[in-house]
Amino acid sequence: MSRLEDVSIFLRVVELGSFARAAPAVGRTSSAISKSVARLEQALGVRLLNRTTRAISLTEEGREYAERCAGLLQGLKEVETAIGQRRGEPAGLLRVDLPVALGHLKIVPALAALTRRHPALRIVATFSDDLSDIIGSGFDVVVRIGEPRDSSLMVRRIGTIRYIVCAAPGYLAARGRPATPEDLLQHECVRRVRAGSGEERRWRFNDPATREPFELAVPGALSLGLNDALIAAALAGTGLVQLHGYMAEALIAEGRLVQVLADYAADGPPVSILYPSSKQMLPKVRAFIDAMAADFAGSSWTEGAPGGT
């Protein structure tokens, strides 16, 4: 029998006033109850109860011990109740880290909906595109674009980014629409450069007949290292740009950008949710994963063309 069980039995004896009355309440014999209290007294080195043939009474030490232990056991019950409730209902603080552009454009609205569905849930979201040391900073779960590098994490793949080519309507009216990727060689293209290296990225396409991927070095006088700058250049009519589909979705719907070469839209990197391995996933983490998976499953920008020709 554990010390905690002995304490619990002692408190029942104090509550009910005798070993005989406490015995059926805790499912023990009177003799077992007496031995349990004796073990506590021996461990503490003090007498907790004065015993007579007719009654028991608390010693001064016993009264203090009973009062303090009663408070501790009540606190333990409250903690167990709270944890038990969390097994069913998402609650508490959820720390997430999200890709910068994808996070604020597509995931933040889903987070707002998640907190409305679960009022006891509170979310703190930060934004980073770094693929390293994902959980080391104390995050419960992260979303990343690209292949995960940490094999110790659980991974739930929820989508695949699509690369699309688009331009402002004014640019296309003046220069015409490319029908194939090779036509881009006769156009002005605003290219993306890798941060730090300045390396210009080739544009990616899928062959519409075979779905085989291929890349093309496109011409252009302007190369930029920021997604927002690429979008601004496209909106200004500077030329064609290749973007992740989610970046252009709203602008295409508004008619401010037009997608071209939709049949050649290329598969890009995966979107994954990463979280620490655990036999029992917390409800708040499960709720986040399920909400993101459902939201991404219904999105056009991970499946293909959001519009255009």
pLDDT tens-digit profile of 179-217? 999 999 999 999 999 776 678 889 999 999 998 999 999
Closest to 95 measured CA to CA, from 72, 121, 73 = 121
Of 46-60, 81-95, 199-213, which gets the smallest average pLDDT?
A: 81-95
**CATH hierarchy code of domain 161-268:** 3.40.190.290
For 6-58, the DSSP string reads HHHHHHHHHHHSSHHHHHHHHT--HHHHHHHHHHHHHHHTS--EEE-SS-EEE
**Calpha distance 203→207 (Å, rounded):** 13
Q: What is the pTM of this model?
A: 0.64
Identify the CATH homologous superfamily for domain 94-151+279-296: Periplasmic binding protein-like II (3.40.190.10)
Q: CA torsion, points 247, 251, 252, 256, in degrees to nearest 10?
A: -140
**Calpha distance 193→113 (Å, rounded):** 35
The type of residue at 64 is: E
What sign has the CA pseudo-torsion 87, 153, 247, 93? positive
Same fold, 94-151+279-296 and 161-268: yes
pLDDT band at 307 (very low <50, low <70, confident <90, very high): very low
CATH number for 3-86 (one of 1.10.150.120, 1.10.10.10, 3.40.50.300, 1.10.1040.10): it is 1.10.10.10
Sequence-separated (6 or more) residues with CB below 8 Å from residue 296: 158, 159, 271, 302
